[in-house]
Amino acid sequence: KRNVLIIGAGGVAQVVAHKAAQHNDRLGDLHIASRTVAKAEAIIETVHAKAAMKVPGVFQAHALDAMDTAAVVALIKATGCQIVINVGSPFVNMPVLDACIQAGVAYMDTAIHEDAGKVCEAPPWYGNYEWKRREACKAAGVTAILGVGFDPGVVNAYARVAEGLMDTITSIDIVDINAGSHGKWFSTNFDPEINFREFTGTVYSWQNGAWQSNTMFEVGQTFDMPVVGTQKAYLTGHDEVHSLSARYPQADVRFWMGFGDHYINVFTVLKNLGLLSEQPVKTAEGLEVIPLKVVKAVLPDPASLAPDYTGKTCIGDFVKGTKDGKPVEVLIYNVADHKEAFEEVGSQGISYTAGVPPVAAALLIADGTWDVGAMANVEDMDPAPFINLLNQIGLPTRIKDASSDRLLEF
């Protein structure tokens, strides 16, 4: 058994806390630390309200500035945690990873590190910060699983499954569709600052053996998805395009995210007016404001969307390649339901799909299966135990090929 420290107390942390509590018989004491301790305490209250703790045990909240590596090391030592699930904002990733290396405990996150001072990181994403710590992880024997949410995360494991079905992979198209409805006139599903940052910069994809650049909403394509039907999605830059293109340099690797016309209209207006800018402006009254912060302040708090969210998400990998000289194609995917997620853990479906995988990874580290003592992206790991476990704990995987559409089990 290994004690677990969850860092961050936002939408994804809520899911991680519930799922870790449901499996604390295989983990150990649970701790959650965030900048605002009240948010961590509130999450623990919702865990107790759902009676989610599998066995009575410790679940404690702590105030922590995760940018302060020494403070993170001190908390790891004080709590005796051996696994850190970092689901704080992406700015804290490297300070937390450094703390785990110093303390000699397992680390995982669900997004690449971002420098708070930059608008958006450019490729090679994992090469900018994470992979520079690879040697240090190895020397310390520290298991660090990078990007183990849904995308990045489970979609990387799906690519690895496809690798086993083909002789060569020629393309990986990761498609993320949220066909749910939150009932608000406009809202982002995550922190608007993070959400808009993803879409204001250059869109990078890996095609013809090189990085290609486009602008957001420039390249759209319609995909026929199970359950959610025909959906328009747009080429978007995403962490996993980098690590997957490093493993499959011969393949085209693209990430597509579904957007409705309404979202695109609102985004375009905000952007063209300069309201997504992080540069401060002065009002006529002499007040200095950052437009993006003002937009965030007037938009709904994404956490408030969960109770009324209905509909489903469908995220999957369309993988093409060849087998015995013939072209083959598979779709490996998951469908999640917003309402079911809310009823189980009090969160919307997108947080659910991001929060369950790191708990699966923690369970696999705790039982030794994934405790590799080195830094790894999800596609470096054996996908079979991960996918089997996800099938059991709320995120079943299906595979669709020319012959059938079935549950994927190993």
Residues that bind ligand NDP (CB under 6 A): 8-13, 34-36, 39, 64-67, 87-90, 92, 110-111, 149-153, 190-191, 194, 354
Q: Where are the beta strands (DSSP E) in 179-306?
A: 203-207, 210-214, 220-225, 229-235, 252-258, 281-282, 288-289
- Beta-strand pair 203-207/210-214: antiparallel
Choice between 233 and 328, CB closer to ligand NDP: 233
Residue nearest to ligand NDP (CB): 10
The radius of gyration computed from the CA coordinates of the chain, to the nearest angstrom, equals: 20
> Closest approach of Cβ 37 to ligand NDP, in Å?
9
> Closest approach of Cβ 139 to ligand NDP, in Å?
26
Choice between 115 and 135, CB closer to ligand NDP: 115
What value, to the nearest 5°, has the Cα angle with vertex 166 and ends 232 and 380?
85
Q: Rounded CA gap, 78 and 27, in Å?
A: 17
Choice between 70 and 139, CB closer to ligand NDP: 70
> Closest approach of Cβ 109 to ligand NDP, in Å?
7
> Closest approach of Cβ 56 to ligand NDP, in Å?
26
> Closest approach of Cβ 216 to ligand NDP, in Å?
17
- Short-list 375, 368, 357, 316, CA closest to 173: 316
Exposure string of 323-359, with b = 16+ CB inside 10 Å and e = fewer, is eeeeebebbbbbbbbbbebbebbbbbbbbbbbbbbbb
Q: Rounded CA gap, 275 and 240, in Å?
A: 29
> Closest approach of Cβ 150 to ligand NDP, in Å?
4
Choice between 300 and 329, CB closer to ligand NDP: 300
> Closest approach of Cβ 34 to ligand NDP, in Å?
4
Question: Would you give the distance in Å from CA 190 to the centre of its chain?
Answer: 11
- Short-list 182, 216, 213, CA closest to 198: 216
Choice between 147 and 321, CB closer to ligand NDP: 147
At residue 186, the 3 state secondary structure works out as coil
Choice between 152 and 237, CB closer to ligand NDP: 152
Choice between 70 and 273, CB closer to ligand NDP: 70
Residues 6 or more apart whose CB falls under 8 angstroms from that of 326 comprise none
> Closest approach of Cβ 25 to ligand NDP, in Å?
25
> Closest approach of Cβ 101 to ligand NDP, in Å?
18
Contact between 388 and 381 (Cβ < 8 Å): no
Q: Rounded CA gap, 347 and 12, in Å?
A: 8
Choice between 163 and 240, CB closer to ligand NDP: 240
> Closest approach of Cβ 36 to ligand NDP, in Å?
4
- Short-list 338, 381, 186, CA closest to 268: 186
Q: Rounded CA gap, 35 and 40, in Å?
A: 9
Choice between 28 and 90, CB closer to ligand NDP: 90
H or E element that contains 247: helix 239-247
- Short-list 153, 315, 320, CA closest to 233: 315
Choice between 4 and 9, CB closer to ligand NDP: 9
